[in-house]
Amino acid sequence: MAGNGFNIRAVQDGFAGEVTGIDICKPLTRDIVNAIERGMDQYAVLTFPDQPLTDEEQVAFTANFGELEITLAGQMAKPEERRFQQLELGDISNFNGADTTRLRARDDKRRMYALANRLWHSDASFRPIGAGYTLLHSRIVPSKGADTQFADMRAAYDALSAAEKQEVEGLICEHSIVFSREQIGFGEYNPGFEEHLKPVPHRLVFTHPKTGRKSLYLSSHIGGIVGWPVPEARAFLRDLMEHATQPQFVYSHKWQVNEMVIWDNRTVMHRATRFDDLKEVRDLRRTSLKGTGLEVRLPAMAAE
């Protein structure tokens, strides 16, 4: 038992859970941290309502689960374009950088870049090691829209036929931020980041190191499959994406203020949904961790 009152209530069967009975603004015992990790392995998405965290508390809470990552968006932004100078803290808002009296203009480049969050994706899958957990905390939520949706890639894998499971096993996909952005017609990257734009390989089937459960490591950042002609790979991936995002695999999260949501990018995809971002404010803070078990062993290397 993790202690006094800690409880996880299933929000959507076996997929999302709501955690109550703890105060995540304060330092946590190892028991509680372990209980949250076990909850993440079981559910893949956990929500923590009524947690009025400060930025510092969010960073401290995140550090319980591993080493914090710096987002590519944060890295690429010029200092004067950034809202937070601490790069581990991602600005998921529509404010005009540090100027919180203004919203981003319709054609603002940062707005264009962030609009790709509306595509189903797994965070940082365009990196050699993608993100493990992402932690998103809400400060201001608009009056309507702006839900975050999650798709359970374990259930999507389980629902494949035996023949399909055999077909996806061993496939290596190529992920790049360029592939997801080009789907919405965005291609303006600051110079000096060419290395970060190159495709990286990831196995399509992820095996969870603790539970042994398999899932589909899908993401809109994927633009090809190693050894496949590009059109064939993209047509195949479209079918697989359509399969994996059917309503029975999806949980739509409606945000309350001061809510923390954690998801495991290795086992779920997610996407933002629309809201009136030219008129209403939405302010969330994001932290994320490197995903363990995502190291790629290419078939040629694995044979050694």
Distance in Å, CB of 134 to Mn ion, minimum? 6
The answer for residues whose C-beta is within 8 angstroms of residue 150's C-beta and 6 or more apart is 15, 16, 44, 45, 250, 251, 252, 253, 263, 268, 269, 270
Contact pattern from residue 77 through residue 106 relative to ligand OGA, giving x for each residue in contact according to CB under 6 A and a dash for the rest: ---------------x--------------
How many angstroms from the chain centroid is the CA of residue 281?
21
The pair of structure tokens assigned to 295 is: 């190291």
Distance in Å, CB of 126 to ligand OGA, minimum? 12
Residues in 133-192 at the binding interface with ligand OGA, rule: CB under 6 A: 134, 136, 148
Contact between 272 and ligand OGA (CB under 6 A)? Answer: yes
Residues in 274-303 at the binding interface with ligand OGA, rule: CB under 6 A: 284, 286
Contact between 123 and Mn ion (CB under 5 A)? Answer: yes
Please state, in angstroms and as integers, the Cα–Cα distance from residue 9 to each residue in 14, 16, 19, 43, 134, following that order: 10, 9, 7, 10, 20
Contact between 117 and ligand OGA (CB under 6 A)? Answer: yes
Residues in 21-50 at the binding interface with ligand OGA, rule: CB under 6 A: none
- Count Cα neighbours of 15 within 13 Å in the Cβ-side half-sphere: 21
- Which one, 202 or 253, has the nearer CB to ligand OGA? 253
CA distance 123 to 132: 8
Interface size with ligand OGA, residues (CB under 6 A): 10
How many angstroms from the chain centroid is the CA of residue 241?
16
The pair of structure tokens assigned to 67 is: 């080493």
Q: Which DSSP symbol is given to 255? A: P
- Which one, 215 or 219, has the nearer CB to ligand OGA? 219
Q: Which of 83, 154, 266, 270 binds ligand OGA (CB under 6 A)?
A: 270
Binding site for ligand OGA (CB under 6 A): 92, 117, 123, 134, 136, 148, 270, 272, 284, 286
